[in-house]
Amino acid sequence: MSAQSFPSEHLSNYWSVEAQQLLQELGTTPGGLNTDAAQERLKRSGKNTLEAQTELTPIGLFLNQFKSPIILILLVATLISAFVQDWTDAVIILAIIFGSALLSFVQEYRASNAAARLKAQVNVKAKVLRDGKEQAIPAEEVVPGDIVLLSAGSLIPADGILLEAKDFFVNQAVLTGETFPVEKQPGTVHAEATLSERSNCIFMGTSVRSGSARALIVTTGTQTFFGRTAKRLTLRPPETEFERGIRKLGNLLTEVMLILVIVIFAVNVFFQKPVLDSLLFSIALAVGLTPQLLPAIININLARGARRMAVHGVIVRRLSSIENFGSMDILCTDKTGTLTEGVVRLDHACDFHGQDSEEVKRQAWLNAYFQTGISNPLDEAILASVQSTVQGAEKVDEIPYDFVRKRLSVVVQEQGTRTLICKGALENVLSICTHALIDDAVQGLTSDHLAEIQSRYTQWSAQGYRVLGVASRVVEVKPAYSQDDERELCFAGFLLFFDPPKAGIKETIARLHGLGIHLKIITGDNKLVAAHIAESIGFESAKILTGREMDQLSDEALWHVAEQTDIFAQVDPNQKERIILALKKMGHVVGYMGDGINDAPSLHSADVGISVENAVDVAKDAADFVLLKQDLDVLDEGVREGRRTFANTLKYVFMAVSANFGNMFSVAGASLFLPFLPLLPKQILLINFLTDFPEMTIASDNVDNLYIERPHRWDVDFIRRFMLIFGPLSSVFDYLTFALLLWFLKASEAQFQTGWFFESVLSAMFVVFAVRTRLPFFRSHPSLLMIGTTLVSAFVTVALPYSPLGKVLGFTPLPIFYMLMLLVIVLVYFVSAELTKRWFYRAIENRE
């Protein structure tokens, strides 16, 4: 029976149905689906995503260029022109609209394809059985009837039931609010069971904390519990600071545009100018003022930035986060693998007296070999330290590691004897010990013994060793063992691990500091180990705060303390998140770098979540960026690219609010006192097209070191001040052009429109070279592509009135003297913009 014919009564309460019956109903087997059947189901049920996704085809993307209400109104008005048989204007306006759309489409299509290819490199995969073999497929291709294989760190891709499970614990706080992971086991539960009571079910959006399992997928995508409630969940902020800034800017310009359009249309009609021409003129004016290219420019900039960041080993999972990446001024990270080599080795396994002990190493090896929970470098180091396996040992049970107990126990049977072997944080292991193995004899653990153990622990920690404890006891035979059996243990000895600092890490941290990024270390290691690593990587007089000390601080106190702290030691996952939120409260843009299961909440909470390619799925899914190599050098280059991307996006914004706003305001004003329209609608649209062409290349422009050396944040108030200074400056020279043409040169209507078109395009083009940099323009070199496209557009602008198209577009050839006078105005405008820019930024710096 196909998945589509699955009985509705079972679909609504499948947790109460026997697994074998579900397999039959879903038309699958314990060995999984075959590839053909899976592909067929994918076509019918759709992709396993929270929203119905349709592939954006080239045609669809092209049509998206016309979704702006203003463009649609303009198209309607153009059709009206055609209806009244003004064919020439209708064809020209349509040609310009389609030309602009095509230009934007080509750039966006290339950008979206490139971004999709990069994102595919780090998409979350799901392990499934297909054709009886294990395969890794994109999680969105999981279908009902799939058999998925789950292990610690896996994101659960869809809803289903367990077929097999071993020490399987799941974190489902996102759905139920449960603080700790819950154990899941195969079986059935009653049909009315609540979500928390469905102990045999797995749910999309949750993650595996420890153990392993094999599960049957029953529902996918929007049919999952997560899918049905996704609209009420706020796992991530709905928009980044950058997106919010873009929206506010768009709202600001749109409000100004609407007021101008309504007023201009009403005034033109009042002065008895042709209604249709007035309508087209007003709408064209709106198109000229509205930053309709802004979405395309942003997409192109972000996609280009993502490609360049990928070259440096940074894969962007969320394009809109690039701005936050460039704005980041604090980076929180663990030390293992980032500041250190990440190749942990077991240097010593010592007994009570600190002497190397084969028995301690043997117990540690058994514990590491038989544990099936979270894979970690400490267990790998233990296993690597023993060349030959221990024979004759058999695993009976396991008490998985968790971040509260900070220890893990396995029950092993050897020669008829069952022994519980516990390994974990020294303090947590000692808390369940009543005896110690001293000189091959078991003795009661006294205060003197504990003081001696603490002394050695302190000494080793100060040398940079991470110290774990090992303890054991013989246990009685019983079906299963739990945390209650971790009691009255005999302390066996110490495990000493060492992870040396990376070569050149001091220089890397110094470079990040030079970029305005302050590094804060968040580690589970104790204060002494943290102090040692801080000293070895160049932190002078580092301020250290422990998790225990943090618990004694109120949230308000932590806001201020966290800002002054360099290292947070002995912290748990909840405390990590609290640190990040405290730093954000103080106005910082906070990045967090993590790769473990317990890092997901912190990655979500940070402004910039950074993970690595070999991280667990739940960490990669929570991250905004994935590093192909766990190296701060990679991050250093990524930050630089993020800042270049943001800077180039701002260049277009500055251009839009200076030249565009000024020009359109000038045209609007001129239309009030001129007996004719200052520009024809088709001429306004042509201005937009010719200025859009070079602006499309802004993504390739060079960026001054000034924008890279320190973080910059989106500031709508700053942009508004910029607009109120440079917009009127543009209008001053526009009105100067009007005066020159009308009163000095006594220009005709066609000459006025041609001269104003000429000055408007050239001034808008060349002012970009002034506002694109804070430096004097001759000290900041634009890209060759930007120069080339600007020169091409300028040539077309100058040549149009003299071409066969000139008359069709309403232009007339101007005398050379006219052209020279207009060029002088453009030159003086450029110089004025350059001088005004220097005054503007000097005033801003003095205010700061």
pLDDT digit string, tens, across residues 350-371? 999 999 999 999 999 999 999 8
pLDDT in tens, 273-291: 777 777 767 766 666 565 5
Please give the average per-residue pLDDT across 257-262, as a whole number.
72
CA distances from 49 to 40, 157, 219, 329, 427 (A): 17, 9, 11, 34, 44
Indicate the pLDDT class of residue 822, thresholds 50, 70 and 90: very high
Tokens of 370: 């038989």
> Measuring CA to CA, which residue among 249, 236, 223 is closest to residue 142?
223
Coil, strand or helix at 436: strand
Q: Are 143 and 48 in contact (CB under 8 A)?
A: yes
What span, in angstroms and rounded, lies between the C-alpha atoms of 677 and 667? 9
- Write down the domain spans for the chain: 3-57+122-224, 65-113+239-308+639-847, 314-341+502-628, 345-498
119/281: higher pLDDT: 281
Q: Is the dihedral of CA 514, 518, 522, 523 positive or negative?
A: positive
Q: Are 760 and 689 in contact (CB under 8 A)?
A: no
Please give the average per-residue pLDDT across 8-33, as a whole number.
82
Residues 6+ apart with CB under 8 A from 95: none
Strand (E) or helix (H) holding 545: strand 544-546
- Per the prediction, the chain carries an average pLDDT of 82
Whether the pLDDT of residue 582 is over 70: the answer is: yes
Please give the average per-residue pLDDT across 150-159, as a whole number.
85
| Predicted local confidence at residue 112, as pLDDT | 59
Please give the average per-residue pLDDT across 151-179, as a whole number.
80
| Predicted local confidence at residue 232, as pLDDT | 45
635/561: higher pLDDT: 561
What span, in angstroms and rounded, lies between the C-alpha atoms of 580 and 588? 10
pTM tops 0.85, yes or no: no
What span, in angstroms and rounded, lies between the C-alpha atoms of 319 and 331? 19
| Predicted local confidence at residue 8, as pLDDT | 38
Residue 409 φ/ψ, nearest 5 degrees: -130, 145
| Predicted local confidence at residue 231, as pLDDT | 46
Indicate the pLDDT class of residue 532, thresholds 50, 70 and 90: confident
Q: Are 85 and 283 in contact (CB under 8 A)?
A: no
Which is the CATH superfamily of the domain at 345-498? Calcium-transporting ATPase, cytoplasmic domain N (3.40.1110.10)
What span, in angstroms and rounded, lies between the C-alpha atoms of 379 and 346? 9
Whether the pLDDT of residue 54 is over 50: the answer is: no
Whether the pLDDT of residue 742 is over 70: the answer is: yes
Residue 800 has, within 13 A of its CA and on its CB side, a CA count of 20
> Active-site positions?
334
| Predicted local confidence at residue 7, as pLDDT | 38
* Among the ranges given (59-68, 341-350, 524-533, 685-694), the one the predictor scored with the smallest mean pLDDT: 59-68
Q: Where are the alpha helices (DSSP H) in 674-781?
A: 681-695, 705-708, 716-739, 749-771
Q: Are 383 and 369 in contact (CB under 8 A)?
A: yes
Residues 6+ apart with CB under 8 A from 532: 461, 462, 463, 464
Whether the pLDDT of residue 486 is over 70: the answer is: yes
User: Backbone dihedral region of 337: left (phi > 0), alpha (psi from -120 to 50 degrees) or beta?
Assistant: left
Whether the pLDDT of residue 63 is over 80: the answer is: no
Architecture of domain 3-57+122-224: Distorted Sandwich (2.70)
Tokens of 240: 């980044």
How many Cβ atoms are within 10 Å of 393's Cβ, its own excluded?
Answer: 18
Please give the average per-residue pLDDT across 811-824, as a whole number.
92
pLDDT in tens, 626-679: 888 777 777 887 888 888 888 888 887 777 766 666 766 777 677 777 778 787
Coil, strand or helix at 1: coil
| Predicted local confidence at residue 488, as pLDDT | 95
User: Using alpha carbons only, what angle is made at residue 236 by residues 714 and 589, rounded to the nearest 5 degrees?
Assistant: 35
In CATH, 65-113+239-308+639-847 is 1.20.1110.10: yes
Indicate the pLDDT class of residue 47, thresholds 50, 70 and 90: confident
* Among the ranges given (134-143, 192-201, 300-309, 451-460), the one the predictor scored with the smallest mean pLDDT: 300-309
| Predicted local confidence at residue 5, as pLDDT | 39
Whether the pLDDT of residue 789 is over 70: the answer is: yes
pLDDT in tens, 384-406: 887 666 678 899 998 888 767 88
Indicate the pLDDT class of residue 233, thresholds 50, 70 and 90: very low
What span, in angstroms and rounded, lies between the C-alpha atoms of 366 and 376? 15
Tokens of 373: 């929970």
Q: Are 217 and 162 in contact (CB under 8 A)?
A: no
Among 368-382, 533-547, 657-671, 786-800, name the most confident range.
Answer: 786-800
Please give the average per-residue pLDDT across 553-570, as a whole number.
91
Tokens of 70: 């203003």
Tokens of 682: 């088709």
Indicate the pLDDT class of residue 295, thresholds 50, 70 and 90: low
Give CATH for domain 314-341+502-628: 3.40.50.1000
* Among the ranges given (418-422, 446-450, 534-538), the one the predictor scored with the smallest mean pLDDT: 534-538
Q: Are 511 and 434 in contact (CB under 8 A)?
A: no
| The residue count for the chain | 848
Coil, strand or helix at 442: strand
Share of the chain above pLDDT 90, in %: 29
Q: Are 597 and 153 in contact (CB under 8 A)?
A: yes
Whether the pLDDT of residue 4 is over 60: the answer is: no
| Predicted local confidence at residue 537, as pLDDT | 81
What span, in angstroms and rounded, lies between the C-alpha atoms of 56 and 62? 10
Surface-to-core class of residue 277, CB atoms within 10 Å of its CB (0-12 exposed, 13-18 middle, 19+ buried)? middle
Tokens of 99: 């030309």
- Amino acid found at 581: L
Indicate the pLDDT class of residue 420, thresholds 50, 70 and 90: very high
User: Using alpha carbons only, what angle is made at residue 379 by residues 377 and 384, rounded to the nearest 5 degrees?
Assistant: 90
Residue 133 φ/ψ, nearest 5 degrees: -120, 150
